[in-house]
């Protein structure tokens, strides 16, 4: 009773509060609000946007044809030309313009990483989701398959697979998707396993909804943040993986420029032309950094309770 | 606990069996004719046919698989087509190199990760924290082989402190180990920092401080042991993958480990050696993961395995 009176006494403050603008916010506008206050996330978003732009508009941005061998692309001694006016980032051992190759390399690297990750997410979400939802025999079999996949030395598996099928853009994409769906399946499996025991799923079932509808309309939206975060961070992992494959000579084959392949070719001339190793590596690092920052930013924006986690 | 370990071992057998089936199928999808690889390029068609007969390559695939498993269980993984030595001998002669590199790499990871992780957590929000986490982000974004080449160029050529190329004396391990350690170490730092931040905000840490224990002692004796378990998990995972050979780093430095052996086996269509190295790496991954989980349970008695 006493407190009631006190509150009435404090009316001026209460009145002030009522006048304060109350903005209705949807879940996604809150996410956007948290995201844009995170500086490193914004940096990541800008880097990724620029890279996508470069990849799409490569023919207009590149100063030269990346496969053209220039007459003045080698010094009189036959060594690569250093960075300078004619060739901004120098030339490679064959006399190609390196800047143009790096710009076109963005296309290859991004295409492989993004498409492969899309497939890996799709397989992972379907298998992990079904395994988690029907957590009987089906779920167990699916998780044992991921156990087997995760016990493989993935780089060796990928090298062997590419060797079997002969390297090409689509084979590399397929192989990366094939070796990387398992961690996604694991995570989604765990999420769905927790979600399906929640009351709203029971309620949906009690209303007579079918399994497919419950999965798509009630469970999937809850898993969406996880899919978005791993969909972004996975691209970073794939860029690195594709670079490693190309470096080992089992990625996309020359003359198509790939960053890893450029480093592999350039390392033979590292004494005379270190820029052949340095610049493609920086391109890889910038791309991976962009997607990592963006992914971390999305994670924090989508799930603020995880703020301090790695 | 015993039932848990027994179940894990049973599962491990299942997993290794699965890996063996997959590897076997994969190995026989290699387009090259293994009998021809074995016979060498100068062999006549007759010799090749004879060798095919001798190696039993003309039998149905499932029978070849059963035969392979049967021999493998007796420690016979066949003979490398290229090296003409038993696969197990080849693997065992390379394993010490991979093992030493794995241990050295993890040592550098811990050397970088633990102090930086602790400092970043204790000095949260300071320039030290920010720059450490910035470095961590850069470190995990750099391709390992590129980092290796840059280190090789800088400290093998421009400032020739360490030997270039092949294993020459004990110092030749420094650059490959640092290559592994830099990327992994900053990741450890990130994990330890976030785990330390959780721990430092616990009541028992405040209690310890309130009792008048010095901050250094609180961090070292009260917080760190409780915050370290995610790092232990990471060390386990790294150990599992590194012991089977680190293909990329071995490739950059010409380090004669299992990764190189496997990579060359794939390049040479050396099927018994491909099978052997992949199986070996998988068995190590499975076993080390079990050991890590058991160790984890000892370190963290709150975890109940059912």
Contacts of B285 in chain A (CB under 8 A): 150-153
pLDDT mean across residues, chain A = 81
Instruction: Decide: helix, strand or coil at residue A235.
Output: helix
Other Cβ atoms within 10 Å of A136 Cβ, number: 8
- Which residues of chain B does A305 touch, with a Cβ-Cβ cutoff of 8 Å? none
Distances (CA, A) of A293 to A9, A158, A285, B125: 50, 27, 12, 18
Residue in chain A nearest B267 by alpha carbon: A163
* Closest residue of chain B to A164, computed from CA coordinates: B30
pLDDT surpasses 70 at A59: yes
Nearest Cα of chain A lies from the Cα of B24 at a distance, in angstroms, of 12
Residues paired with A200 in a beta bridge: none
| pLDDT greater than 80 at residue A66 | no
Closest CA to A261 of B155, B105, B146: B146
Confidence of residue B31 (pLDDT cuts 50, 70, 90): low
Q: Are residues A263 and B145, on separate chains, in Cβ contact within 8 Å?
A: yes
Q: Which of B16, B121, B146 to mutate to test the interface with A (most CBs of A within 10 A)?
A: B146
- In chain B, the largest separation of any two C-alpha atoms, in whole Å, equals 86
Q: Do B31 and A164 touch (CB under 8 A)?
A: yes
Alpha-carbon torsion (B303, A300, A182, A130), positive or negative: positive
Query: Are A252 and A108 spatial neighbours (Cβ–Cβ below 8 Å)?
Result: yes
Nearest by CB: B251 against A147, A248, A293: A248
The pLDDT of residue A309 is above 50: no
A270/B138 touch (CB, cutoff 8 Å), yes or no: no
Q: Which of A47, A160, A182 to mutate to test binding with chain B, by most B CBs within 10 Å of its CB?
A: A160
Please write the tens of the pLDDT for every residue from B120-162: 998 888 888 888 888 888 888 999 999 988 888 888 777 777 7
B274 contact residues in A (CB cutoff 8 A): 160
Contacting residues of A for B28, CB less than 8 Å apart: none
Mutate to test the interface with A, among B13, B139, B145 (most CBs of A within 10 A): B145
CA distance B137 to chain A (A): 7
Q: What is the pLDDT of residue A97?
A: 78
- Which residues in chain B have Cβ-Cβ distances shorter than 8 Å to A295? none
pLDDT at A265: 84
Is pLDDT at B19 greater than 80 in this prediction? yes
B203 Cβ contact list (under 8 Å, min separation 6) = none
For residue range B74-127, list pLDDT tens digits in order: 777 778 877 888 888 889 999 998 999 999 999 999 999 999 999 999 888 888
Q: What is the pLDDT of residue B108?
A: 94
Residue with tokens 């190759």: A101
Query: Among A23-27, A247-251, B265-269, which is the least confidently predicted range?
Result: A23-27
Q: How far off is chain B from A22, nearest CA to CA, in Å?
A: 32
The pLDDT tens digits of the residues spanning B183-235 come to 889 889 988 998 888 888 888 888 888 888 888 888 888 888 888 888 888 88
Exposure of A7 in the CB half-sphere (CA atoms within 13 A)? 5
Q: How many residues does chain A have?
A: 310
pLDDT tens-place string over residues A118-150: 999 999 999 888 888 887 787 788 878 888 888
Contacts of A289 in chain B (CB under 8 A): 137-138, 141
Residues 6+ apart with CB under 8 A from A200: A218
Handedness of CA B31, B60, A142, B304 (dihedral sign): negative
Rounded to the nearest angstrom, the minimum Cα separation between B289 and chain A is: 9
Question: Å from B143 to nearest chain A CA?
Answer: 6
Cβ <8 Å between B282 and A285: no
**DSSP codes, chain B:** -HHHHHHHHHHHHHHHHHHHHHHHHHHTTSSS-HHHHHH-TT--HHHHHHHHHHHTTTS-HHHHHHHHHHHHHTT---B-TTT-SBHHHHHHHHHHHHHHHHHHHHHHHHHHHHHHHHHHHHTTTSHHHHHHHHHHHHHHHS-HHHHHHHHHIIIIIIS--S--SS--SGGGGHHHHHHHHHHHHHHHHHHHHHHHHHHHTSHHHHHHHHTT--HHHIIIIIIHHHH-HHHHHHHHHHHHHHHT--HHHHHHHT--SHHHHHHHHHHTT-HHHHHHHHHHHHHHHHHHHHHHHHHHHHH-TT----
Contact call for A153 and B282, based on CB within 8 A = yes
pLDDT tens digits, one per residue of A184-243? 888 888 888 888 888 888 888 888 888 888 888 888 888 888 888 888 888 999 999 999
CA A3 to chain centre: 55
pLDDT at B112: 92
CB pairs under 8 A between A and B: 141
- If you measure CA to CA, which chain A residue comes closest to B19? A148
Instruction: Indicate which of B141, B189, B231 best probes the interface with A, i.e. most A CBs within 10 Å of its own CB.
Output: B141
Q: With an 8 Å Cβ cutoff, are B137 and A293 in contact?
A: yes
Nearest to B15 among A151, A160, A310 (CB): A151
Q: Rounded to the nearest 5 degrees, what angle is found at the Cα of A238, between the Cα atoms of A235 and A244?
A: 150
Interchain proximity B146–A267, CB inside 8 Å: no
Of all residues in chain A, the one with the smallest CA distance to B21 is: A148
pLDDT in tens, A260-290: 888 888 888 777 778 888 889 999 999 999 9
Given a contact cutoff of 8 angstroms between Cβ atoms, the answer to whether B37 and A170 are in contact is: no
pLDDT digits (tens, 9 = 90+) for A40-56: 888 889 999 999 998 88
List domains and CATH numbers for chain B: 95-267 (1.10.3720.10)
Contact criterion met (CB < 8 Å) for A292 and B244: no
Query: Environment class of residue A27 by beta-carbon count within 10 Å: exposed (0-12), middle (13-18) or buried (19+)?
Result: exposed
Residue A240 pLDDT = 92
Decide if pLDDT at A6 tops 80. no
Residue located via tokens 């993004």: A114
Candidates A43, A148, A272: best to mutate against B (most CBs of B within 10 A) is A148
Q: Tell me which of A5 and A204 has the higher pLDDT.
A: A204
- Give B44-72 pLDDT, tens digit per residue: 777 777 777 777 777 777 888 888 888 87
At A95-110, the pLDDT tens digits run 677 888 888 888 888 8
Q: Which residues, 6 or more positions from B14, have their beta carbon under 8 angstroms from its beta carbon?
A: A144, A147
**Closest Cβ–Cβ partner in B29, B149, B282 for A151:** B282
Chain B residue closest in CA terms to A270: B153
pLDDT of residue B110: 94
CB-based contacts of B95, cutoff 8 Å, min separation 6: B257, B258
**Angle formed at CA A163 by CA A160 and CA A166, multiple of 5 degrees:** 145
């Amino acid at each position: 009773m006493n407190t009631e009176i006190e509150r009435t006494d404090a009316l001026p403050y209460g009145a002030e509060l009522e006048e304060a603008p109350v903005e209705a916010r949807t879940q996604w506008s809150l996410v956007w609000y948290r995201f844009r206050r995170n500086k490193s996330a914004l940096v990541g978003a800008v880097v990724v946007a620029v890279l996508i732009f470069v990849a799409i508009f490569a023919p207009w941005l590149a100063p030269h044809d990346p496969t053209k061998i220039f007459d003045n692309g080698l010094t009189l001694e036959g060594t690569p030309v250093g960075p300078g006016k004619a060739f901004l980032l120098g030339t490679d051992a064959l006399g190609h313009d390196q800047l143009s190759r790096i710009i076109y390399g963005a296309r290859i690297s991004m295409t492989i990483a993004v498409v492969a990750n899309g497939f890996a997410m799709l397989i992972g979400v379907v298998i992990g989701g079904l395994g988690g939802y029907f957590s009987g025999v089906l779920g167990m079999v699916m998780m044992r398959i991921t156990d087997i996949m995760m016990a493989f030395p993935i780089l060796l598996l990928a090298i062997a697979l590419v060797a079997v099928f002969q390297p090409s853009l689509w084979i590399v994409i397929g192989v990366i998707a094939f070796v990387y769906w398992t961690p996604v399946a694991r995570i989604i499996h765990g999420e769905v396993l927790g979600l399906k025991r929640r009351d709203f799923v029971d309620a949906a079932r009690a209303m007579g909804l079918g399994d497919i509808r419950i999965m798509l309309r009630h469970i999937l939206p809850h898993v969406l943040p996880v899919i978005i975060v791993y969909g972004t961070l996975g691209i970073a992992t794939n860029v690195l993986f594709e670079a490693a494959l190309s470096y080992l000579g089992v990625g996309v084959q020359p003359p198509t420029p790939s960053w890893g392949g450029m480093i592999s070719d350039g390392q033979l001339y590292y004494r005379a032309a270190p820029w052949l190793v340095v610049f493609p590596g920086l391109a890889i690092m910038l791309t991976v950094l962009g997607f990592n920052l963006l992914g971390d930013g999305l994670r924090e924006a989508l799930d603020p309770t995880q703020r301090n986690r790695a | 606990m015993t039932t848990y370990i027994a179940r894990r071992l049973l599962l491990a057998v299942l997993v290794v069996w699965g890996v063996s089936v997959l590897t076997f199928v994969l190995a026989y999808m290699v387009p090259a004719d293994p009998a021809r690889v074995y016979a060498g390029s100068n062999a006549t068609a007759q010799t090749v046919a004879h060798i095919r007969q001798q190696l039993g390559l003309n039998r149905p695939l499932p029978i070849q698989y059963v035969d392979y498993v049967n021999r493998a269980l007796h420690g016979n993984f066949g003979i490398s087509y290229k090296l003409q030595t038993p696969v197990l001998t080849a693997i065992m002669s390379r394993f010490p190199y991979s093992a030493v590199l794995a241990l050295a790499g993890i040592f550098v990871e811990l050397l970088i990760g633990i102090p930086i992780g602790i400092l970043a957590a204790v000095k949260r929000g300071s320039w030290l924290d920010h720059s450490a986490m910035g470095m961590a982000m850069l470190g995990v974004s750099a391709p390992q082989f590129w980092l290796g080449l840059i280190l090789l160029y800088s400290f093998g050529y421009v400032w020739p402190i360490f030997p270039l190329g092949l294993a020459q004396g004990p110092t030749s391990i420094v650059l490959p180990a640092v290559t592994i350690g830099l990327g992994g170490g900053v990741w450890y730092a990130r994990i330890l920092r976030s785990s330390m931040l959780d721990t430092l905000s616990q009541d028992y840490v405040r209690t310890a401080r309130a009792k008048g224990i010095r901050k250094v002692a609180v961090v070292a004796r009260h917080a760190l042991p409780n915050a370290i378990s995610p790092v232990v998990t990471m060390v386990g995972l790294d150990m599992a993958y590194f012991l089977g050979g680190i293909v990329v780093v071995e490739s950059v430095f010409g380090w004669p480990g299992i990764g190189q052996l496997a990579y060359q086996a794939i390049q040479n269509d050396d099927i018994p050696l491909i099978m052997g190295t992949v199986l070996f790496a998988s068995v190590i991954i499975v076993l080390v993961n079990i050991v890590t989980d058991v160790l984890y349970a000892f370190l963290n008695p709150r975890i109940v395995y059912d």
